[in-house]
Amino acid sequence: MAILIRKATDIKPSEITPRSVYLDRRRFMQHALGASVLLAGDAMLPAWAKRWPELAKSPHSTDEVLNSFEDITTYNNFYEFGTGKSDPAKNAVNFDPKPWSITVEGECSKPGTFDLEDFIKPYALQEYIYRLRCVEGWSMVIPWVGFSLADMLKTFEPNANAKYVEFTTLYDKSRMPGQKRRVLDWPYVEGLRIDEAMNELPIMAVGLYGEILPNQNGAPIRLVVPWKYGFKSIKSIVKIRFMETQPRTTWNESAPREYGFYSNVNPNVDHPRWSQKKERRIGAPIWKPKIDTLMFNGYGEQVAHLYQGMDLVKNF
């Protein structure tokens, strides 16, 4: 069932990349650069990326207006490359996410360490148009390329003790200069309850706008959990661990008054330093009023049952 979220009306048409354009980027490149250049570029792509022309659109995608590629790739939170919104795009230019491996461990029957190519190969890539909202009060609508988190986790056969899933970002000061500063307790760690992780919405993203995931957006692979604040969607993942106890997550440890473990988008729970009732869509004219923040970021139909009976003010 498609997610019914109100269309954004506060984005200038000139700032939106038409869907038909981004889906046809390779044909455009072929005409602009010549077939030989395109073929050389395709030859360097990993095998899983060559499947992108076959992408289907997830039925859970929103029909909201997309943010532009420029919006999505130049306004980011990624403290491993700096604390400013423009820092990741500038400081991640030389980051090389190859080679890359992911370790799966903990309460499961099939742990191991996997090359990224082998890790992605079994899963069907799709386009997922999800809104991502930051706790700071801004949001974007992004056309991700990825695959189901639930399908991936089932591959490793979590056992009955697996109550949570923990994710860890790469820790390498030589490749991620922001880690030289002790603004957070590195490496970055996030987590979900197992039933949250097995929901139909979360994805492992490997691209956006039909292209390989840019460095500043979490290359080569990241989590996207659309009903939670953006910091839950951890980037540049190198380890996944099934756990019986709740993980100690980075922002919850750094500022527990401000960042709870669940981190669901909830306009009724104010951040200690600002209201969560409104949000600003990146790319919108500055004179446009903010839009209302929706409970669970508009995905309540798919996820509200996960929190039935919970106090969502106490468990923020």
- Whether 125 is in a domain gets the answer yes
Q: Is residue 311 part of a domain?
A: no
Domains in the chain, number? 1
Q: Is residue 308 one of the residues assigned to a domain?
A: no
* Residue 128, in any domain of the structure: yes
- Say what the pLDDT of residue 46 is: 77
The DSSP annotation for 227-245 comes to TBBGGGS--SEEEEEEESS
Q: Using one digit for the tens of pLDDT, what is the confidence trace for 82-104?
A: 999 999 999 999 999 999 999 99
pLDDT at 221: 98
Which residues are registered as beta bridge partners of 142?
Answer: 130
Q: What is the Cα–Cα distance from 236 to 93, expressed in whole angstroms?
A: 15
Per-residue pLDDT tens over the stretch 228-266: 999 999 999 999 999 999 999 999 999 999 999 999 999
d(CA 75, CA 89) in angstroms, rounded, equals 8
**What pLDDT, on a 0 to 100 scale, did the predictor assign at position 52?**
72
Q: Provide the mean pLDDT of the chain.
A: 88
| Rounded-to-integer distance, Cα 221 and Cα 237, Å | 6
Indicate whether 18 belongs to any domain. yes
Residue 206 located in a structural domain: yes
The whole model's pTM is what?
A: 0.88
3-state secondary structure of 102: strand
Rounded CA separation 166/164 (Å) = 7
For residues 98 and 15, which has the higher predicted lDDT (pLDDT)? 98
Establish how many alpha carbons lie within 13 A of residue 106's alpha carbon, considering only the half-sphere containing its beta carbon: 22
Q: What is the residue whose two structure tokens read 């996997």? A: 114
Range of the domain at 53: 13-303
User: What is the CATH number for 269?
Assistant: 3.90.420.10
Question: Is 79 within a domain?
Answer: yes
Task: State yes or no: pLDDT of 11 exceeds 50.
Answer: no
Kindly state whether residue 2 falls inside one of the protein's structural domains.
no
